[in-house]
Structure 1
């Protein structure tokens, strides 16, 4: 296939402006995906948004299409680092290995882990690139769509108005949510009364339990996620929420209530009990389901995985033998650089596990060897799967879970126990996870670059720079989200205590703090003293994959697995498989997430279904349907990015103890009934926006169809 820019044509490519634009996008899109992944357990591929934004900015500067390619390549790498980070780093906090998330040592450890994983992924891709991107059996659907965006831009087309318009709308809505102008969700506990027979008093009604009802969360980002994954997957995710909150929580609450509330309870007590049941019983069951779901996902892909492993070994032999041409469009990083990068990642793993996690030198050496072997195979597998189905459907969490279990078993075989062993397992899993995510995303971008005529070694070098920056920056938004959530909830809790004229707080170990002393505590300690459900692993930042990694690592290494609940969840996951549920993993994640999250995602999927049906009813041809699809995905991506960036902004304000409230000026205490009706109107407005705008821009029937850019 002839590249869009021939190999003998040398346009401006690796320019300072292209790299800088890419670096800014890498940080922004990486942070946005970190926000989304911690809250919803999902990330979106950044190639498409990075292509649109990079093209718009480079065109304003009269740049070339190859500069756009470099900007997109560097800009999209942040999402893969974020995916690896959120699946693993919060596990250090959730498992208790890091009682405090932010310290200089934790920052350095996290940054080195992300950088080592990123470099490892890039080096393995440099070995595998040529054979994989030129393989006709790998369609690379998202790569083709991204390349067509750049080609359309060169011909004068653009989709930036959809992306940036949706970002602005989501930013405004999220800003109003953060200042508490209206209610973000509605919940009510419906009490059930059953008849009990008393021989003296006769028939008597008694409250025995109930059902906690909830509305969708007011979140453009969640609705955007639902729109992207579509009605079927959105329904699967929501079914997990219905199963958790419509069956398991009410049923368990029914049996617990007599012992917990022998003298009756208030509505607030029932709500608190429901959340306690969900947190401590249902979520571990969901983790068992996720474990089976991840294994089943890999089993279904066993043929692709085996093919990927076989090909990867063959490709390395070809690369080592120097079987490559010297054309510009086929030049990768020198082989010596590749070997040096792999050695660097191995040395970092050895030093981190030995010096920081404090395991024996031999154990650290084995951990480094395991990391290189697993990193290579999973990078190859990840790239192969991306070539088939795109990076959005790449089962990174399943690959990471496999790496974690293998590493944990090796650590146990070597006699490693305690926090050091758990930390070593999580560290190796984090490096492998980042490596696999980076490899998949990078091969996708290299395929798009191959179509456009980009120079591979320049793209690989740009990604190394992007990985370095994001690795040493991404810890900051993670810290801001974690500590900002804690501080925001601590402020509300302290205000409630002051209103109740409470002067001191006593911890479980008998220590007494005044409210002023509590305010002066670090965020993680403030969370412990006040007993807050905040930060990583909480309702607000569920981080389901990290919770799974934490539970498994501690369970295997320390023998503290909550096996009864995990086994129940595994049986439930097996039942999903026997029922031929399309994605048992997605259902289990839905059980793990708050109901308002899965409800909002489901609503976005329903909206996507409405758009599809409307397109059919209007008799749109295939070209028009593709444009509707692409425009809708751009709108959804804009909603996600807009909310995430504003959410990070307000998390930063909470982190610095800047507190904004408009509630009291409008609704007094924020409890007026009209507050939630504004939320309903906003939900309807987003729905109308996501339906009308794509359909209104379907274009003429005789326009040629671009490739579908559906994630």
Structure 2
């Protein structure tokens, strides 16, 4: 089948956009859907690269992509169908998440921090072409992993994938379709269609869809689509330009983005200042109140308690903000312990259930047939073969990804960096870890990619001992596969609930990942020319996490007294993760209030300014959703948050006009001189 045949297969035969849920004749993989998805994805790519280099946290933004795509489609002569909109958000997500998948927010900055005297190798700074080659080596492995995993976790096990379910519910509301049939033990209620006489609540969250118990003064959703269509663009534009204007003002007068919270002395010596950025607030709205609360609890413990303890006891004698000898570098190790234990404990039930499932399949009578002579497993699939991704494509794609990926990694890093057989082992390990990550994401809406990457680092400390470069690269390969397979599985869940073609989504994923290689690499090159990375503006905190673990596995040395605190916090958050995992799997309503270990650890990695503004966004999200959100208002808040976040990325690189008022020494110019 040629490319033209593939394209023709998914073109619509008519312009009717008033379709029913699951209508197989509706338009799906069309040129306008791909172009809109790429445009949105490029914006998300810049935004995720920006925030990822600042905080180590990126957002999938599937809900936001669907909303923005819907608004754009209203300007077209023939608006997008629901299935086309799913292709839009699938393409946008594949394009926007490449900064994490290809390691631009962690792996590549970590390689640039290598020290020849300490690590035995000089810093590695990839050229634009080498960065393209590295991205190509890891960009498609997770995409080809998704189709075979889809049938198991979505069709047979019916895992929740809350963000994917939320996006499906939102798309159904926007297109006035019947609500998707959400089955399985993890069924949740979110956006719903109701009659005027049947009031209900609408609850949205970028992380989870939770049931709202308060039922008084609730309004129906029949007018949601028209309201978003009429008011959405105006809301998105004013929020975008308000955020952009504030960002530009902050770059010209950086004191406004480094306000001392408790006096200039604490701001200068202990880094306690505040950045009143609307983009940070918008990201907090998207992250949700429970996550931002966990992050700020970590910020308080790390920066208000542990930092002074390490400083005054002489365990971290350097400047507080120094990642090598200062308190910030000292608490980094505790953050690493929390991340690892939280991720590993959260994965244990998934590993156990996966092993039990494999054992049950091996010991059960797999030859039992239905009356029609077809096995029950075969009849579980809801799509026809022409709408699925053929397994021959999957096998060839995985094989080509591993072979060409190994060759490209060898060409970029050389034989001394990581041996080809070790790269192949890294891909194999990444495939196994991706299955665990997808299952964890499907049940909890959290993809523990950081913990999975650390598992790969632990394995490669034994496979290629003493080789820091190989250790970091192997972790990056595993993280890329797990992150892509997980995020794309959320999209496939959305498509499954709304009757979209998995093959059309697969095309969108491939195109989005391919284009994002160029966009992400170019954006990263622009950032490295304009800023020091890691540096004051872009500290790239996860780069230090990658490098610190690699160094620990190589030399076994820790900063003074940090081991005791690592053990204590590791054990504590192992227990917390066990409680949170049990509560989440049993659908306990209080599960979301148990602190997230990963978010808590992120609070250690970033200075207080990054966390406080996001907490403000989280509080706004919680108050608005529980007190004021009724139908269209909840969707309106997502539009506002999207405008706030997108308004920041395009203003990067603007110079500093004045350092007036920066007496505490925290403005951009003072830091970069």
TM-score by length of 1: 0.70
Secondary structure of the residue aligned to 1:474 is: helix
Q: CA deviation at 1:463?
A: 0.7
Counterpart of 1:441 in structure 2 is 487
Q: CA deviation at 1:173?
A: 1.1
The match for 2:660 among 670, 679, 689 is 670
The match for 1:145 among 144, 150, 166 is 166
Question: In 2, distance between residues paired with 1:311 and 1:82?
Answer: 34
The match for 2:134 among 110, 124, 127 is 110
Contact 2:128–2:521 (8 Å) recurs in 1: no
Counterpart of 1:642 in structure 2 is 647
Question: In 2, distance between residues paired with 1:168 and 1:313?
Answer: 56
Contact 1:289–1:588 (8 Å) recurs in 2: yes
Q: Which runs of structure 2 are paired with 1:30-49 in the superposition (5 Å)? A: 30-49=45-64
Contact 1:141–1:387 (8 Å) recurs in 2: yes
1:154-176 CA-to-partner distances (Å, cap 9, x unmatched) read 23446434444422221121121
Counterpart of 2:437 in structure 1 is 382
Counterpart of 1:544 in structure 2 is 541
Counterpart of 2:371 in structure 1 is none
Counterpart of 1:217 in structure 2 is 275
Higher helix share: 1
Contact 1:166–1:638 (8 Å) recurs in 2: yes
Counterpart of 2:5 in structure 1 is none
Structure 1 residues 314 and 411, CA, compared in 2 at 3 Å: closer, same or farther?
farther
Q: 2:183 aligned with 1:183, yes or no? A: no
Question: In 1, distance between residues paired with 2:133 and 2:461?
Answer: 19
Question: In 2, distance between residues paired with 1:322 and 1:120?
Answer: 26
Contact 1:102–1:479 (8 Å) recurs in 2: no
Q: Which runs of structure 2 are paired with 1:422-571 in the superposition (5 Å)? A: 422-486=468-532, 535-536=533-534, 538-556=535-553, 558-559=554-555, 561-562=557-558, 564=560, 566-571=562-567
Contact 2:272–2:607 (8 Å) recurs in 1: no
Secondary structure of the residue aligned to 1:430 is: helix
Residues paired across the two proteins, number: 558
The match for 1:66 among 58, 83, 86 is 83
Secondary structure of the residue aligned to 2:415 is: coil
Q: 2:606 aligned with 1:593, yes or no? A: yes
Secondary structure of the residue aligned to 1:183 is: helix
Structure 2 gaps of 5+ residues are 1-18, 116-120, 177-224, 368-374, 577-593, 667-673
Q: CA deviation at 1:55?
A: 1.8
Q: CA deviation at 1:366?
A: 3.5
Secondary structure of the residue aligned to 1:60 is: coil
Question: In 2, distance between residues paired with 1:244 and 1:481?
Answer: 29
Q: 2:48 aligned with 1:25, yes or no? A: no
Contact 1:404–1:429 (8 Å) recurs in 2: yes
Question: In 1, distance between residues paired with 2:88 and 2:361?
Answer: 28
Structure 1 residues 555 and 125, CA, compared in 2 at 3 Å: closer, same or farther?
same
Counterpart of 1:234 in structure 2 is 292
Structure 1 residues 229 and 456, CA, compared in 2 at 3 Å: closer, same or farther?
closer
Structure 1 residues 13 and 605, CA, compared in 2 at 3 Å: closer, same or farther?
closer
Structure 1 residues 26 and 98, CA, compared in 2 at 3 Å: closer, same or farther?
farther
Question: In 2, distance between residues paired with 1:243 and 1:49?
Answer: 32
1:503-543 CA-to-partner distances (Å, cap 9, x unmatched) read xxxxxxxxxxxxxxxxxxxxxxxxxxxxxxxx22x343222
Q: 2:349 aligned with 1:332, yes or no? A: no
1:11-32 CA-to-partner distances (Å, cap 9, x unmatched) read 2221112112212222221221
Structure 1 residues 25 and 279, CA, compared in 2 at 3 Å: closer, same or farther?
farther
Moved more, 90-99 or 425-434: 90-99
Structure 1 residues 605 and 153, CA, compared in 2 at 3 Å: closer, same or farther?
closer
Q: 2:462 aligned with 1:409, yes or no? A: yes
The match for 2:403 among 324, 347, 367 is 347
Q: CA deviation at 1:458?
A: 1.7
TM-score by length of 2: 0.74
Counterpart of 1:289 in structure 2 is 335
Contact 1:252–1:277 (8 Å) recurs in 2: no
Q: CA deviation at 1:460?
A: 0.6
